[in-house]
Amino acid sequence: MLWHKLIGFAILSLALTQLEFVQSDVPASGCRNNFSSVAGKCLYASKNWLNWYEADRTCRSLGAELLSVQNQTQLQQIEKWLNTTLPFTLDFWTSGNSLGQKGVYFWQSNGEQARNMPWSPGQPRSADGDCLSLIANKLHNTGYYDYGLKVNNCTFWASIVCEQQPQKYNTRICLQPGSFENAQVLA
């Protein structure tokens, strides 16, 4: 009996020495590169001023899309982050546009029709353009802005917010190549 336990222990020890940890390139937040975890998304903001088309290409070059806003709660979390990340920046492009159908807005990032929008006062005005930006509506005495959506001409310049979906963080334990064969030789 002792002999069988000793062989089993030897095989287990050999297998454990052959273990290799394979880590994902995604940090625990699920966000890559210079992206921050905000409102269930990975966000990146840049103060560079671009037109909507350049902004869309810039986000795509980062493996991301322009921002889409699903509801007021999400917008409030994004506002807090924007006010901290890029204070005093008043205008950001989103993925929202009516490029295919005037006056009907869709999120370019996911193809969904934009509904229940957090519009700025007096918006939407489809005569102003086809692309949606987040614009600062009001400066509070605390120095924070409230943002809302505004229709703009797509060739105007604004800063950008890119979004990615968070990646799942995985650490895997794998046997090194050949470890199974090595364990069989001992048995």
Enumerate the domain spans of the chain. Answer: 1-23+176-187, 25-169
- Maximum Cα interatomic distance, the chain, rounded to a whole number of Å: 87
Please enumerate in sequence order all residues whose Cβ is within 8 A of that of 94, keeping only pairs 6 or more positions apart, or say none: 66, 67, 68, 69, 107, 132, 133, 134, 149, 161
In percent, how much of the chain has pLDDT > 70?
Answer: 73
Read off the amino acid at residue 5: K
Which parts of the chain have pLDDT scores under 70?
Answer: 1, 3-29, 141, 143, 169-187
Q: Which CATH class is domain 25-169?
A: alpha beta
pLDDT in tens, 81-104: 999 999 889 999 999 999 988 889
Whole-number pLDDT of residue 178: 59
pLDDT attached to residue 10: 57
Number of H helices, E strands in the chain: 4, 10
